[in-house]
Structure formats: C-alpha cells, structure tokens
Amino acid sequence: MYICICRAVTDSAIHEFVSGGASSFRDISSATGCGTQCGRCVAQVREVMNEALVDQGLLASSEQLRVVSSA
C-alpha cells in the first residue's frame, strides 16, 4: 500500500528501510523523499515506521508500555 503518493513510497519499503537500520523519520525521508513534497503522508509514515520498529524489537508497543506503567 502506498503511504506517500508523491514519492511512491509503500509500507513495505518503510519496513525494509527499518530492517536495514533506519530508525527515524529523517532516515526514511532522506532515503525515499517521502514527506518532502505535499507533506500529507508524514503522520502515516511515522506510524508505519513505529510499527516496523516494534516488529524489529527496537520500540516498545503502546500495549507493552501500558503494562509496564501499571506494574
């Protein structure tokens, strides 16, 4: 699914960049150009990037944080 229409960046591409070591919006934007034209995709790029970071075990999910904070 396309996340950034202007630069034709897909969710799969964002997951691949995170697997390759990208860990910030700036990393992904620098590599793909996403968010640099109309900017409408920025929030969704961040959301997909965070999902990918959780998948990689590099970021705790909100559910994990909720469990930790209530413990």
34 binds ligand FES (CB under 6 A): yes
Q: Which of 39, 55, 64, 65 binds ligand FES (CB under 6 A)?
A: 39
Q: Buried b / exposed e across 36-66, counting CB within 10 Å, b at 16+?
A: eeeeebbebbeebbbbbbbeeeebeeeeeee
- Contact status: 5 vs ligand FES (CB under 6 A): yes
Q: Does 6 bind ligand FES (CB under 6 A)?
A: yes
For residue 36, the SS3 value is coil
Which residue of 8, 38, 65, 67 would you call a contact of ligand FES, by CB under 6 A? 38
The residue type of 44 is: Q
What residues make contact with ligand FES under the rule CB under 6 A? 4-7, 34-41
